[in-house]
């Protein structure tokens, strides 16, 4: 067992967003967290990561209760969060963006990422080492954002809508690269509105609607369940 989220209730002030979200991600799995706009996908990741503390429920990582621990502590335990809003430094070069995100030591299990290893995973970035972050395309920024998180040597990657706003060809490349990360042993929780993209990469899926889990099961089960897809994904 890697990640075990149980009965999460999370609110921003008086507005409650999550109503008992439970999910698991096993070591080596890629699990999709799907759902339309505003259903609580990002809030679920923020609750796991300790960026927004849930008021009920638990998050366990490798058996340890990490509920509500501050994000820097959660990151130290091996969770890496790739935010939706690609937070890179616009005035630093690609290489500098990666270097400032470097962590001293690898986790006991994982590999110690280097700038060169990130370039191997994302060859498009290797050609842009000296370019400032602010001049990158959306796809390049997404790769750099993932690269920055990798420099923290995570075991489990929480990816928030990596395909958002990218052209189909770039999304295809990104899918391949995420697939490679998985082959290298990373465990992944992949939040997406783009169900087609996410299910190709994943072993299992959860669907959120209005802060509730409405479906959980294998990708095959999801493909066979037209009602669920139409009702909660619109595909």
Q: Residue 43, interface with ligand ATP (CB under 6 A)? A: yes
Q: Residue 135, interface with ligand ATP (CB under 6 A)? A: no
Q: Which is nearer to ligand ATP, 48 or 75 (CB)?
A: 48
Cα 69 from Cα 92, distance rounded (Å): 30
Q: Please give the helix or strand (H or E) that residue 47 lies within, else none.
A: helix 41-49
Find residue 58's DSSP bridge partners.
6
Of the candidates 21, 41, 177, 182, which one interacts with ligand ATP according to CB under 6 A?
41
What part of residues 93-112 is at the interface with ligand ATP (CB under 6 A)?
A: none
What part of residues 4-33 is at the interface with ligand ATP (CB under 6 A)?
A: 12, 15, 17
- Work out the angle at residue 210's Cα, subtended by the Cα atoms of residues 182 and 79, and round it to the nearest 5 degrees: 30
Rg (CA), the chain: 17
Q: Residue 142, interface with ligand ATP (CB under 6 A)? A: no
Q: Residue 204, interface with ligand ATP (CB under 6 A)? A: no
Cα 216 from Cα 16, distance rounded (Å): 22
Q: Residue 47, interface with Mg ion (CB under 5 A)? A: no
Tokens of 234: 């619109």
Q: Which is nearer to Mg ion, 10 or 42 (CB)?
A: 42
Q: Which residues lie near Mg ion (CB under 5 A)?
A: 41-42
């Amino acid at each position: 067992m890697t990640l075990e989220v149980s009965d999460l209730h999370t609110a921003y002030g008086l507005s409650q967003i999550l109503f008992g979200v439970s999910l698991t991600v096993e070591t080596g799995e890629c699990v999709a967290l799907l759902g339309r706009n505003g259903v609580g996908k990002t809030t679920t990741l923020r609750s796991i990561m300790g960026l927004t503390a849930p008021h009920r429920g638990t998050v366990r990582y490798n058996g340890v209760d990490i509920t509500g621990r501050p994000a820097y502590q959660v990151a130290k335990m091996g969770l890496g969060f790739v935010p939706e809003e690609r937070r890179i430094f616009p005035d630093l070069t690609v290489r500098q963006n990666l270097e400032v995100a470097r962590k001293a030591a690898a986790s006991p299990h994982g590999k110690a990422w280097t700038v060169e290893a990130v370039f191997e995973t994302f060859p498009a970035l290797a050609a842009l080492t000296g370019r400032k972050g602010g001049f990158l395309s959306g796809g390049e920024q997404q790769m750099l954002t993932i690269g920055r998180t990798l420099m923290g040597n995570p075991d489990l990657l929480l990816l928030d809508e990596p395909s958002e706003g990218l052209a189909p060809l770039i999304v295809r490349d990104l899918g391949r690269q995420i697939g490679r990360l998985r082959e290298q042993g990373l465990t992944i929780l992949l939040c997406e509105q783009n169900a087609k993209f996410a299910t190709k990469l994943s072993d299992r899926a959860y669907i959120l609607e209005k802060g509730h889990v409405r479906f959980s099961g294998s990708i095959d089960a999801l493909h066979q369940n037209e009602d669920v897809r139409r009702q909660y994904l619109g595909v």
